[in-house]
Structure 1
Amino acid sequence: MVKISDVARHAGVSPSTVSYALSGKRPISEETRLRIERSILELGYRPHAGARSLASRRSQVIALVLPLRKGIHVPVVMQFATSVVTAAREYDYDVLLLTQSEGEEGIVRVARSAMADAFVIMDVELHDRRLPQLRTLDRPSVLIGFPADPTGLTCIDLDFQQAGETCVDHLAALGHRSVALVGSPPEVYARGTGFAQRVAAGVGAAAERNGLRATVLPCADTPTAVRALAERLLREQPDLTGIVVHNEPIVQPLIEALMSQGLRIPRDVSVTAICPDEIAEHAPVPITSVSIPSAEVGRRAVELLMSKLQGDEPPEATVLPVRFTARATTAAPPAR
């Protein structure tokens, strides 16, 4: 089956330009239009009937479903939202931001009112109650995140399990034998949020494979909780020499709390993090980390959605590879 992306590649233009040529929503040069028409004829491209029907009543709006629930770190999720908005504008789409915890009721309300042509869904849980509605909705959707069963859905995300494994593998290669995952706030785990569960699974898998002892410790993103956790680690795990942090707002505060307990980073304790590059790079001591590629995830989510709106069938699963950077907060453990 010939897709709109095939036409774009053959004509040497972007998929959005082909879309404009077909819909007439934006002027393009006569030369470009003729080139696209020749490619359509040569390739035998036929717009999907459902896509043509949807195009006739489009609002040119994408609904971004981002419930701002307890435990969510707003600055990071807004990086994802900003990238969705920026990418959508390249396709002449606006974005309707839905931040309330309405679940499937909010999605149905927006779909029935024709306020949006399609949905991008964030904060995906393993057993997300929005999934049955999304599978039957007459508007396409893309999930940023993976549920336990992604069948019939289109999902994209960082490989969070591999992120957890990569951090532990790095510590194991340096010689560490006891590690801890300082994870998201407790309520994030309680909701069964997919990315948090997958990081924990990755840490556990890599620890078992390398013969390490590993613990998972959720942590609220408050100064009091961070200080209490640092004291607990020192008291309960005196042989701990490696920490993986997956909780963006506490990465630097946790390092400071450990240092206030008399620990030297990385001489006594090595720290890795799963966080945006700007957090790791701009810390007083640059932090060894796996990058969270929010800009790429948001952009590619929109590209997948535009493909579906044109009647194409993008892959159900898009998993971005891990990008790991060793910096100044990891080293061999102290001799015992």
Structure 2
Amino acid sequence: MVTLAEVAQHAGVSASTVSYVLSGKRTISAVTRQRVERSIQELGYHPNAGARALASSRSNIVALMMPLRTDMYVPVMMEIAIAVATHAREHGFDVLMLTGEEGPAAVERVVGSGLADAIILMDVELEDARVPLLRESGRPAVLIGLPADTTGLTCVDLDFAEAGAQCAQHLADLGHRQIAVIGEAPAVYERKTGFAERTIDGLRTRARELGLGVLYRPSEGGYATMAGTLGQIFTERPGVTGFVVQNEQALEPLLGLLRQDRRAVPEDISVVAVCPEQVALQASVRLSSVTVPAREMARHAVERLVAKIEGDTEDEVLLLAPELVVRASSGPAPAGA
């Protein structure tokens, strides 16, 4: 491994000069700076994290607050986390993952201890108790998700309201007039988690505009729960011919129960999902779906966070445009429906 002293010898300067070039703490002539930077590049020198932190008063660590809850689909959360870590490393930052359900206490701990230069917040609620602390701290931060009030915040998310609207529009275009929505676990809505609330709001708004009947039911997922939910839906709304599902753990049980009930997909019942592409493609019936772009959201979040660390003070809300991909699970409403 190349050392700072070897860089200094190669460039014909003192070790302290190399350190000043790296830290920017003293003015170095352009000629000397260029010579040092050329030696760093030619030798492939990488200052260790401790040295960078001491030189720049930075930890070069980003805190990722990602509560791992039993009512959330963990593979999506982990896909985002891995993508955040990968893109952060490309910019010279490591990631400290905070997976506990600590709420504001986690923000206070990170800000008070100087553990991290910046914060990425996930699992954002409409009235998220962590957000006021972020605003007060002045620490660079990006949210993957939207609270109700985005003033003074930088947020990245899928436009879930539009995703819900596209699902309703797709089924209406196929002639469906009565649809059911299978949502996330009840606790997700009790917390008023942003992505879930926005999806159902967008769907209901578009359904009203189109004159669709909508029956919404949250679900824990699993066969036993879905069997009860499905029975209730067909009892209350026997004319339902289309389902919108925003719950990865409910998808396969729903498809299996429809088969048991001799309801063919999509001839009798159409199913549209909001889920990761891999889930849609690996289901027993390839699902028409709006993809949750986990990696893209992570990339945009890291890019905006790095810009903030470097001094960009502009706040923005970036909503990624959803795209509904039609596959085998949706088709025209049955005749007479």
Q: What is the TM-score of this pair, normalised by structure 2?
A: 0.83
Alignment of 1:54-69 (within 5 A): 56-69=56-69
Q: What is the CA–CA distance in structure 1 between the aligned matches of 2:183 and 2:319, rounded to whole Å? A: 21
Q: What is the CA–CA distance in structure 1 between the aligned matches of 2:184 and 2:282, rounded to whole Å? A: 21
Q: What is the CA–CA distance in structure 2 between the aligned matches of 1:216 and 1:328, rounded to whole Å? A: 23
Q: What is the CA–CA distance in structure 1 between the aligned matches of 2:54 and 2:313, rounded to whole Å? A: 15
Alignment of 1:187-266 (within 5 A): 187-266=187-266
Q: What is the CA–CA distance in structure 2 between the aligned matches of 1:222 and 1:90, rounded to whole Å? A: 39
Q: What is the CA–CA distance in structure 1 between the aligned matches of 2:22 and 2:141, rounded to whole Å? A: 22
Q: What is the CA–CA distance in structure 1 between the aligned matches of 2:311 and 2:284, rounded to whole Å? A: 49
Alpha-carbon spacing, 1:320–1:23, altered in 2? closer, same or farther (3 Å): farther
Contact 1:304–1:314 (CA<8 Å) still a contact in 2? no
In structure 2, what residue type is equivalent to 1:162? E
Percent identical residues: 44
In structure 2, what residue type is equivalent to 1:148? A
Q: What is the CA–CA distance in structure 2 between the aligned matches of 1:117 and 1:249, rounded to whole Å? A: 36
Q: State the partner residue of 2:120.
A: 120
Q: State the partner residue of 2:311.
A: 311
For the residue of structure 1 that corresponds to 2:134, the secondary structure is: helix
Q: What is the CA–CA distance in structure 2 between the aligned matches of 1:140 and 1:237, rounded to whole Å? A: 49
Q: CA offsets, 1:89-113, max 9 Å, x none?
A: 1011111111111111111112211
Q: State the partner residue of 1:300.
A: 300
Q: What is the CA–CA distance in structure 2 between the aligned matches of 1:145 and 1:85, rounded to whole Å? A: 18
Shift of 1:76: 1.2
Q: State the partner residue of 1:290.
A: 290
Q: State the partner residue of 1:279.
A: 279
Contact 1:181–1:203 (CA<8 Å) still a contact in 2? no
> Is 141-150 or 313-322 further displaced after alignment?
313-322
For the residue of structure 1 that corresponds to 2:77, the secondary structure is: helix
Contact 1:70–1:187 (CA<8 Å) still a contact in 2? no
Alignment of 1:1-336 (within 5 A): 56-336=56-336
Q: What is the CA–CA distance in structure 2 between the aligned matches of 1:254 and 1:133, rounded to whole Å? A: 41
Shift of 1:210: 0.5
Q: State the partner residue of 1:39.
A: none
In structure 2, what residue type is equivalent to 1:290? V
Q: What is the CA–CA distance in structure 1 between the aligned matches of 2:260 and 2:315, rounded to whole Å? A: 49
Shift of 1:138: 3.2
Q: What is the CA–CA distance in structure 2 between the aligned matches of 1:101 and 1:235, rounded to whole Å? A: 38
For structure 1, the residue ranges without an aligned partner over 5 or more in a row are 1-20, 35-52
Contact 2:152–2:315 (CA<8 Å) still a contact in 1? no
In structure 1, what residue type is equivalent to 2:329? T
Contact 2:180–2:242 (CA<8 Å) still a contact in 1? yes
Contact 1:307–1:314 (CA<8 Å) still a contact in 2? no
For the residue of structure 2 that corresponds to 1:142, the secondary structure is: strand
Q: CA offsets, 1:70-125, max 9 Å, x none?
A: 41111111111111111111011111111111111111112211111110000100
Contact 2:135–2:152 (CA<8 Å) still a contact in 1? yes
Shift of 1:30: 5.8
Q: CA offsets, 1:117-161, max 9 Å, x none?
A: 110000100001111101011311100000000100110100000
User: How many equivalent residue pairs?
Assistant: 294
Shift of 1:22: 7.4
Alpha-carbon spacing, 1:266–1:22, altered in 2? closer, same or farther (3 Å): farther
In structure 1, what residue type is equivalent to 2:179? V
Q: What is the CA–CA distance in structure 2 between the aligned matches of 1:120 and 1:194, rounded to whole Å? A: 16
Q: What is the CA–CA distance in structure 1 between the aligned matches of 2:182 and 2:125, rounded to whole Å? A: 20
In structure 1, what residue type is equivalent to 2:56? S
Contact 2:241–2:270 (CA<8 Å) still a contact in 1? yes
Contact 2:142–2:304 (CA<8 Å) still a contact in 1? yes
In structure 1, what residue type is equivalent to 2:298? G
In structure 2, what residue type is equivalent to 1:143? L
For the residue of structure 2 that corresponds to 1:83, the secondary structure is: helix
Q: What is the CA–CA distance in structure 2 between the aligned matches of 1:284 and 1:258, rounded to whole Å? A: 12
Contact 2:180–2:244 (CA<8 Å) still a contact in 1? yes
For the residue of structure 1 that corresponds to 2:100, the secondary structure is: coil
Contact 1:178–1:241 (CA<8 Å) still a contact in 2? yes
Higher relative contact order (CA 8 A, sep 6+): 1
> Is 167-176 or 214-223 further displaced after alignment?
214-223
Q: What is the CA–CA distance in structure 2 between the aligned matches of 1:55 and 1:205, rounded to whole Å? A: 54
